[in-house]
Structure 1
């Protein structure tokens, strides 16, 4: 076979290979573009905060129901979140009862680590929670972070998590069913859990 015919054979393979690489790069670019940092219709929280109007911030951050967010759990009814009746325990027990009763005792350790910035026992702790199911209020990508609440007796992460919103965290959510439902809670400012 002459040199000229060998070149034709090898160049015949080169064109499909280049086309495949080009398609692969275009596909990777499209995927990257779809995974950009900001959600397209995220509320303008930053603008409201910059304006310094706390009422305006509260208006733009309407929260969904958090007591039962399981699909079909409400039989077509629009859930409403009713505030719990106010109770004022004695001052000596307020610090000990700063967290809601639905949180397990291990949540206190997780919250301490969150406030200190770690180190966390699981490598996934502090990772961005993407809220793919939309069970939490829609925010820009990177707003929510998840942390493991250990379950005694398990040798894996289990299903209990605390999801925080904001940096530093200003919103706290707890799930004990691996993101099927969330309950919002607050911790006192300047206090340790």
Structure 2
């Protein structure tokens, strides 16, 4: 005996091995609904006839069992399956699911903001330390610049002192050599007053001129 799929209407030997195409087709009226659907006019007609028979049987005090068995043929494929039992667990409210997701997102945002705040505090501490170090470096540079200016001033003063001392020394030295050369020229005479070396005075004057030029 072949079995009939209630969805696609295909007849198979074993429903366990059947792969349904999921395309609904009624075996009674060939319309696009399941064979057991109440939309089918044939199923509606059977239901109406069955209801009428039941009402007739209820109206008689002694129902004719043979008549019922003769006229009514029960076929499970002609009737829709009973609805599945309701789950004992409460259905999940989509709004509550959305609220839970929103709470989780807010928690993630809070954690992210906490991390940002910690990083911001570290960055501010780094900036403060950098500014402090910059001030120290700037102060040291200013001190070095001031020391350089002081050294430069001292160098200029020392140079002036040296120039003054050199000029003074040169003047004293030239004056001393002039006196010395005059003394030598005075000693360059014999007892009669005649010069012993006639060119000595010229030589000494020439040395004195060269010395002044060199200085």
| TM-score between both structures, scaled by the size of structure 2 | 0.24
Q: Which has the higher helix share?
A: 2
| TM-score between both structures, scaled by the size of structure 1 | 0.26
Report which structure shows greater RCO (CA 8 Å, sep ≥6): 1
The structure whose Rg is larger is 2
